[in-house]
Amino acid sequence: MSQAKSNKMGVVQLTILTMVNMMGSGIIMLPTKLAEVGTISIISWLVTAVGSMALAWAFAKCGMFSRKSGGMGGYAEYAFGKSGNFMANYTYGVSLLIANVAIAISAVGYGTELLGASLSPVQIGLATIGVLWICTVANFGGARITGQISSITVWGVIIPVVGLCIIGWFWFSPTLYVDS
């Protein structure tokens, strides 16, 4: 029992893990793709913010009304039985599988650009599998080690984003922004 308790993450580690998940490819890669669209892409950020708030509100309400713990699966089981729990957890697992592969591909893409490497599609696939296995092995230590790793890696996102936000104002052109 004491080992299970010592392997849990605290509120700070869970918050940092959430920050890492949100800031990863979404904060770093998405703006470059949205910049190609132009100023209208700001609407997509607003839609995303409204959708995120709606999800947070829905989960908060489910947590208030459900007598079962267990997140989405527990809420679905409370309302729809064991099949609802299975469907919620299964679809969440599939979405995580797809998201993790996408994040690993992004990591390999960033790594090749950063290191100036040129990889064939087969090499990219192998590197992506390697990244997935490295992350899997890193998680064998349990939830606490995952939180500790996230506490370190979050700075790899925060420092460049804050730096670009501060330095970027020197090159900001309101006329170019309005014209696009």
Q: Cα separation of 24 and 93, whole Å?
A: 19
DSSP H/E element including 114: helix 82-115
**pTM assigned to the model:** 0.66
In the predicted model, what is the mean pLDDT of the chain? Answer: 82
> Which H/E stretch holds residue 56?
helix 42-65
Round to whole Å and give the CA distance between 134 and 131: 5
More reliable by pLDDT, 3 or 124? 124
- Compute the C-alpha angle 97/99/103, nearest 5°: 120
- Say which residues have a Cβ less than 8 Å from residue 169's Cβ, sequence separation at least 6: none
Q: What is the percentage of the chain residues whose pLDDT exceeds 90? A: 18
Q: Contact 5/140 with Cβ under 8 angstroms?
A: no
Give the mean model confidence (pLDDT) for residues 66-78. Answer: 83
* Side-chain half-sphere exposure of 77, counting CA atoms within 13 A: 13
Q: Tokens at residue 143, please? A: 């939830």
DSSP state of 151: H
Task: Please list, residue by residue across 119-149, b when 16 or more beta carbons sit within 10 angstroms of its beta carbon and e when fewer do.
Answer: eeeeeeeebbeebbeeeeeeeeeeeeebbeb
Higher-pLDDT residue of 92, 52: 92
The mean pLDDT of 114-140, rounded to a whole number, is 92
- What distance in Å separates the CA atoms of residue 106 and residue 50, rounded to the nearest whole number? 26
Any idea where the domains of the chain sit in the sequence?
93-159
pLDDT of 164 over the 80 cut:
yes
Token digits of residue 74: 């527990």
Range with the largest mean pLDDT of 40-44, 108-112, 123-127? 123-127
Residue 12's contacts (CB-CB under 8 Å, 6 or more residues apart) are: none
What is the model's pLDDT at position 1?
47
